[in-house]
A and B are shown apart, each in its own frame.
Chain A
Amino acid sequence: MRAAAFAALASLSVLGAGWELGIQAGVTNHSATATGSTAMGSTATGSTAVPTTPGQPTTSAQPPATATAPSGTFTGTVAQTQFGNVQVAVTIADGRITDVTALQLTDQDGRSVSISNRAAPILRDEVLSAQSANVQNVGGATYTSSGYVQSLQSALDAARF
C-alpha cells in the first residue's frame, strides 16, 4: 500500500511539473508572438520587405497604368507560429493582386504540413477575389491562416498597395 501511495505521489508531482512547464511554455509562446508582431510592424516600413524585382517586372510589356500603381513581386516578412514559420510573396500587376506564392508554410510536423497544404490554395483564392489581406481564416487552419495574412499584409505594405 505504501508503494501505491508513493506511486501516486510521484506521478502527481511529475504531472504537476508537466503542467507548470506547460503554463510557462504558454506564457513564453505568447510573449514570443507579441515581440514577433512588433518587430514585424517596424520592419514592414523598413527594408525587410524588398521587392524581389525592384521597380518594374522584367517583362514590362505593359507599363504601369498610373504612376502610383505598384507592380512587381513583393516578399512579406516571416510570421512565426506555434507550428512553424509562414512567409508569402505577392505579385502585383497594374494595381491588382495577380498571385500569392507561399514561400514557407507551417511545417513543424506532418500534420501541420498537411493542414497548410490544404489551406494555402484556399487562402490564395480568397486573397485574389478580395484583393486584400482582409480574408477569413480557413477552418482548422487558424495558425496557418493568421501567419499567411500577417506575412501578406507586410508585403502589401511594402508595395504601398
Chain B
Amino acid sequence: MLSPMSIDTNSRRPVGAPSARPIHPAYRRRMRLADTLQVLCVVSVAIVVAIFLADGGAARFTTPSETLTSMGIVSGLVGSDLLLVMLLLAARLPLIDRAFGHDRAMAVHQSLGKPALYLLLAHAALLIGGYALADNSTLPAEMWTMLTQLPDMPLAFVGLALLIVVVISSIVVVRRRFRYEALHAVHLLAYLAVLVSIPHQLSVGGLLRDGSIQRYYWLALYVAVAGSVLLFRFIIPVVRSIRHRLVVTGVDRVAPGVVSIRLGGRHLRALNASSGQFFIWRFWTPGLWWQAHPFSLSAAPGGDSLRITVRGLGDASVKLPALPRGTRVSFEGPYGLFTERARTSPRIVLVAAGIGVAPIRSLLESASFEPGGATVLLRSPSLGDRYLADEMAELCARRGATLRVIAGHRPPGVDSWLPADAAAAGITLATLVPELREADLYVCGPRRWTDAVVRDARSAGMPGRQIHYERFDW
C-alpha cells in the first residue's frame, strides 16, 4: 500500500545535494510502522463516528433538541476515543517507542489533551442543552434531572471534573517545571476519570446498548488500552526490575552535583538496550525511593553493567552523589529512539550541551562509522563546565572522531545555539561540519538550545530523517 517513495516526506532537498543515496532499510521499516500507527489512530476516530451513523444517527438532526443531542453524542464518542489514544501513547508500548520515540509520542499525547477535554466538555454541554430542549426545562433543572434520573450520571460528572483537574494541572506542571512526581500523581487521576465515565456510556445512551456489536467494540477498546497500560507500565517494569537485580556498584564524581552511577545486574543483554536510550530509575534508599528519574545511559550497555551520568536537581543533587553501594535500583525502560536504530547515513554528527553529553557519549562509543566519519561538538558556557570532557576526548581519539569544543556564552536576545562571537561571525552548523548532508545529526541538550540546533540543521537543508534529538525536561 505504501510505496517506498512515500517515506521521503522531505521536499526541501537542496539543489546539488546527493540524491541517489539509498534510503536506509531500517528507516523505511520504521516509517512504514509510524504511518500505519498514524492511520490506525485517525481511522479509530472515523470508526466511532461510523458507529453513530450506522445506528441511523444521520437521520437524528431534524429538531433542534435532536441536533444538539446527536452532536453531543458524536463529540463524546470522539473525545473518549482521543482519550484512549492518549492513554496508549503514554502506555510506553514498544511499538510506539520504536516508531516515534518516547519524546515524540509524549508530544502527541500532550497535544491531544486539550482537544479531548474540549470535546468532552462539549459533549456534556450539548447533551444538557439537547435534553433540556426536549424536556422543555431549564439547564440547571435538566442537570439535576440527569443527575437524579439517569443511571451512572453522578459518576460521569465526577469523571469530567477529574479530567478538567488533570488537564489544567498538567498544563501548570509543564509550564512551571514542577517535579516529575507531581505530573505522575496527577495523571493517576486520569485513569480514574476514564474509569468512572465508562458506566454512563453503556447505560444512558442507546447507541452502545446491550448485545450490540458496537458495545463489544467499545468495550474491546477499553480492555485493550487498560491491558497495555497495565502490562507495559506496571507488570513488565516490575518483572524486569526483579529479574535483573540492578544495584549501585559505584558512584564517580564528575563535577559538583554531577555523578556517573555504575550499576550491576544480571542478564542485561535481554533488555536489548542501546546506547543513547534512557530508563526511568528509582533508587531504593531513604529519601529517594519515592522519586523516579529519567536518565540516559552514558556508556554502551554491557551484559552485567550499565552506567548513567546525571546532574541531580533539587534534593537529588545532594542525595545522588551519596548513593551507597549496593542500593537496589528498579527501572522502567529502556526507552527512546535516540539510538543507532534511527541511522540513515554513513557519517554521524553528535552535538551535546551540558548533561546532554551523557547519551552522546554512549552513542559515540557504539555508533558505526569509519574513522574520520564522525564529528563531536561539545557546547558549554565556559571551558571549565564540561562534563565527561576527558572521556570524550579519549573516545574520540580511539574511534577516529573529530572533537570540537565550543565554549562561550550565548548572545543575549538572539536564539542561537552558538556563542555570541561565533554567531556574529556567521558560523553555523554547516560551516562547522561541511559533510552535514551525508551525516546523521544527534542533538541532546536543554530544550530551547536543542531547538536552535535543529533549526540551524534544517536551514542548512538537512532532511528531517537525518536529524535526531531527544529532549527531556525532567
Residue among A2, A14, A110, A117 making CB contact with B46, cutoff 8 Å: A14
Q: In the complex, what residue of chain A is closest to B6 when comparing beta carbons?
A: A2
The 9 closest A-B pairs by CB, nearest first: A18-B50, A2-B6, A140-B134, A11-B46, A18-B53, A21-B54, A3-B35, A109-B206, A7-B42
Knowing A109-B206, A110-B152, A114-B149 are in contact, say whether A140-B54 is a contact too (CB < 8 A). no
Q: Are B206 and A112 in contact (CB under 8 A)?
A: yes
Q: Which B residues are in CB contact (< 8 Å) with A21?
A: 50, 53-54
Q: Are A109 and B209 in contact (CB under 8 A)?
A: yes
Knowing A25-B54, A29-B56, A114-B150 are in contact, say whether A15-B1 is a contact too (CB < 8 A). no
- The CA-CA distance from A115 to B206 in the complex, in Å, is 13
Q: Are A2 and B151 in contact (CB under 8 A)?
A: no
| In the assembled complex, B145 has its CB within 8 A of some CB on chain A | yes
Q: Which of B57-65, B232-240, B272-280, B433-441 makes up part of the contact surface? A: B57-65
Query: Can you add 11 more A-B contacts, CB < 8 Å, to A11-B43, A109-B209?
Result: A1-B6, A2-B2, A3-B34, A7-B38, A19-B54, A22-B53, A25-B55, A110-B205, A113-B151, A114-B150, A140-B136
Instruction: Tell me the A2-50 residues at the B interface (CB within 8 Å).
Output: 2-3, 6-8, 10-12, 14-15, 17-19, 21-23, 25-26, 29
Q: Are B209 and A15 in contact (CB under 8 A)?
A: no
Q: In the complex, what residue of chain A is closest to B49 when comparing beta carbons?
A: A15
Q: Are B206 and A111 in contact (CB under 8 A)?
A: yes
Q: Which A residues are in CB contact (< 8 Å) with B55?
A: 22, 25
Q: Are A139 and B136 in contact (CB under 8 A)?
A: yes
Q: Are A25 and B136 in contact (CB under 8 A)?
A: no
A contact residues, total (Cβ < 8 Å): 34
Q: Is the interface of B mostly helix, strand, loop or mixed?
A: helix
Can you list 13 A-B contacts (CB < 8 A)?
A2-B5, A3-B34, A6-B35, A10-B42, A10-B46, A17-B50, A22-B55, A23-B58, A109-B209, A110-B204, A115-B135, A140-B134, A140-B136
**Shortest beta-carbon distance, A2 to chain B, in Å?**
3
Q: Which A residues are in CB contact (< 8 Å) with B134?
A: 115, 139-141
Instruction: Tell me the B376-390 residues at the A interface (CB within 8 Å).
Output: none
Q: Are B2 and A6 in contact (CB under 8 A)?
A: yes
B binding-site residues for A, Cβ under 8 Å: 1-3, 5-6, 9, 34-35, 38-39, 42-43, 45-47, 49-59, 65, 131, 133-136, 145-146, 149-152, 200, 203-206, 209
Q: Are B49 and A18 in contact (CB under 8 A)?
A: yes
| In the assembled complex, A134 has its CB within 8 A of some CB on chain B | no
| In the assembled complex, A161 has its CB within 8 A of some CB on chain B | no
Q: Are A22 and B57 in contact (CB under 8 A)?
A: yes
Q: Are B152 and A15 in contact (CB under 8 A)?
A: no
Q: In the complex, what residue of chain A is closest to B152 when comparing beta carbons?
A: A110
Q: Are B135 and A1 in contact (CB under 8 A)?
A: no
- The CA-CA distance from A22 to B136 in the complex, in Å, is 29
**Shortest beta-carbon distance, A147 to chain B, in Å?**
15
| In the assembled complex, A108 has its CB within 8 A of some CB on chain B | yes
Most buried by A among B2, B54, B55: B54
- The CA-CA distance from A22 to B55 in the complex, in Å, is 5
Q: Which B residues are in CB contact (< 8 Å) with A111?
A: 131, 150, 204-206
